[in-house]
Amino acid sequence: MDVAGFREAFPAFTQELHPYARVAFHLRVAGLRLSPERWGDLLEDGTGLYVAHMLTLEAKTNQSKDGTGGIDAAAGTLASETKTVGPVSKSRSYTNAASAEPGAGHWNLTSYGLQYRELAKIVGMGGVQL
């Protein structure tokens, strides 16, 4: 899979939001992590999901309040937030706890990560550390 193929399969990951160099980087890492022999016909699917997951986490890090990532980026999915300006208050709360897989770590943080984990189980990742 190359950058153009990734963008075709995952059109939400535009050049404006995810520069070519970042997509290419994660594609190279995926190429080192996913064994073609083990993944077989699911290699492109696994590669695309891996890259989409990593780019989504990277985007979340870049959106942190101070621009450095830090604890905001590492904290996981927002569970609740309240903003108040004068007499007006806005709250939001969301989590992926219902779909979280025990022991899946950061893969639980995006839908792409969860899909990647499911494919990894199909191809029998065995002793490979995720």
DSSP letters for 38-103: HHGGGHHHHHHHHHHHHHHHHHHHHTSTTSS-HHHHHT-S---EEEEETTEEEEE----TTTPPTT
Stretch 29-58: mean pLDDT, rounded? Answer: 96
- Greater model confidence, 72 or 41: 41
CA dihedral 22, 25, 31, 34 (to 10 degrees): -60
Q: How confident is the model at residue 17, as a pLDDT? A: 93
Stretch 35-60: mean pLDDT, rounded? Answer: 95
- Greater model confidence, 25 or 65: 25
Q: Encode pLDDT of 53-89 as tens digits.
A: 999 999 988 876 555 554 444 444 555 566 777 777 7
Per the confidence metrics, is the pTM higher than 0.85? no
Out of 41-50, 55-64, 96-105, the most confident range is: 41-50
Cα separation, 108 vs 117, in Å, equals 9
Where exactly are the structural domains of the chain? 3-122
Stretch 107-113: mean pLDDT, rounded? Answer: 91
Q: How confident is the model at residue 103, as a pLDDT? A: 79
Contacts of 20 (CB under 8 A, 6+ apart): 3
Cα separation, 60 vs 63, in Å, equals 5
